[in-house]
Structure 1
Amino acid sequence: MNTLSSINRSRQKTPKLLAYSIITQLAFTSFIYLSFLFSNNSQAGNINPLCTEDDVLLGGQLSEPYHTRLRDGLVDQYLQLIFEMLNCHLKIISLPAERAILEANKGKIDGDFVLLSDIDKASYPELLKVTPSYFSFFMAYVSFDDIKYEELASYRIGVITGMPIAAESLSNIKVVRVKHYEQLIELLRRKRLHVAVLPIAVAYYYKKIACLNNLKIEVKPELKVNLYIYLNKKRANLVEPLSTAISEFKHSKKYQELVKKFLKKGLELSAPSCE
């Protein structure tokens, strides 16, 4: 009788023990699964995040209308839109050309946005070039005289501080650098300079706005400027995505709208009646 009673009590306990065992196993399995997910998500979030909470800081020096103090120049807006494609917040600061590339190489800033195709890799080993070129424009030789461009070394030439010059013909020529376009035009008028090097759009603007009908504007193939972004190696994870974004942006509606906006702005500039 006692034996039978014990068996019955055991049978009553068995379902409870079984249920407890199942719950324990499920809890343990859930813990392992959640731990696995958390580990994977944490690792995935740490695999080359494009941008952290910090801004991407680019420095350089480029004159108007491409780069302005208000950061609303054509290149300023161009860069902002490209980095927005990567969900990155871009901050642009104006720095003298030499200082910008040095600080980018040291990692004090994330990169330089006003560099040409080739730089001395031995001098700046920490910089990575982002291709393709993100922006291109033409410069022009501007003068009131008949210039023999194969003999440029014999002329006094003026350029804008911070405006990159791609022409190899000017690489070994000492040039006068000034801050503003007006200064270059005035120096030309006063015969203090023989030639000024200006963006072609700016040259035609001053010819129109100042009634400089005898101003000669000469565009040469070597005066095409292709701008590249160079990033410090600490931002190496941005190079490939940025390259893709640049290529896509050049074929986007946003790019077309931005260019149309600046063209319209230029056409709306009032000019005096030249007699």
Structure 2
Amino acid sequence: MDRSPALPVLLALLCCCTACLAARQALAQAPERPLVLNTDGAPPHSRDDGSGFEDRIVTELFRRMGLAVRLVRLPSERALANANQGVDDGNYVRVAGLSALYPNLVMVPEPMSEFAFTAFTRDAGLKSAAWEDLRMRRTGIVTGWKLAERHLVGATQLTSVRDEETLFAMLAKGRLDVVISSRHTGREVLRTGGYKGVHALDPPLSTQPMFLYMHKRHAGLVPRLTETLRAMRRDGTLARLTREGLAGAEQ
């Protein structure tokens, strides 16, 4: 008996089973809850309501991938520790190379933003400085800022604090000579805090590309995150969200 008419039916069943298996695997890999991404970013980089320019970029990035996220602001060192230990799913934004210090973190190799490490001072005679010029001054940084820590190794009067708001309060009281901040955040703190007589040194100490890091359990997402970020750069979304997040911040 010729059974060849059954062949198309068998092929159709095989294709159906393959599609079902692929769908089940995709569901198994999808997070069952929103991904928790933490940041140490201060305004205007990050805000409690998620309207900071880096918050906007992260939210749009994962929206395009069909993934829900919950954003959490934490002190810098704790944010890194939580992401590295897997308490949270990732951390944004950081300088390149932190996987050497935090081996459970995988860097998404497309930059999300730039960070101008800027020195602020009340010393009217100080107009510019390099990292090495700060080692003999009473200098303040945020605890967990690895690039600043590396550049200021050997500093004789280095103070590390929880956040940039504390740094500027100490500067205003004369307890520090120089503080290191994001240029954007420094300007916002000066504006909202009403500090007078403080100015930024120009040029910045360093301007660095900044990256998203994911816990290694999400390493499979990194290629898609990279390509999606690149697409957002090409279509102007990164620039637009940055402008929107900065609107009014430094007026």
Pick the TM interval, shorter chain: 0.7 to 0.9
Q: CA deviation at 1:172?
A: 4.4
1:194 lines up with 2:177 in the alignment: yes
RMSD: 3.2
1:228 lines up with 2:207 in the alignment: no
Identity %: 19
- Between structure 1 and structure 2, the one with the greater Rg is 1
1:89 lines up with 2:63 in the alignment: no
1:175 lines up with 2:156 in the alignment: no
CA distance in 2, matches of 1:193, 1:120: 32
* Aligned residue-pair number: 242
1:157 corresponding residue in structure 2: 139
1:107 lines up with 2:86 in the alignment: yes
1:32 corresponding residue in structure 2: 10
Amino acid at match of 2:221: L
1:75 corresponding residue in structure 2: 54
CA distance in 2, matches of 1:109, 1:211: 35
Post-superposition CA distance 1:6-61 (Å, at most 9, x none): xxxxxxxxxxxxxxx99x986x6575334312221133332698744432222232
1:134 corresponding residue in structure 2: 112
1:166 corresponding residue in structure 2: 147
Query: TM-score, normalized by length of structure 1?
Result: 0.73
2:221 corresponding residue in structure 1: 238
Q: CA deviation at 1:91?
A: 1.7
2:44 corresponding residue in structure 1: 65
Q: Secondary structure at the match of 2:147?
A: coil
Aligned 8 A contact 2:37 2:89 in 1:
yes
Structure 1 gaps, min length 5? 1-20, 270-275
CA distance in 2, matches of 1:218, 1:177: 21
Aligned 8 A contact 1:139 1:219 in 2:
no
Aligned 8 A contact 2:120 2:201 in 1:
yes
Amino acid at match of 2:181: L
Q: CA deviation at 1:132?
A: 1.6
Aligned 8 A contact 1:200 1:219 in 2:
no
More RCO (CA 8 Å, sep 6+): 2
Post-superposition CA distance 1:64-91 (Å, at most 9, x none): 2212222221111110011112111122
1:251 lines up with 2:234 in the alignment: yes
Aligned 8 A contact 2:111 2:211 in 1:
yes
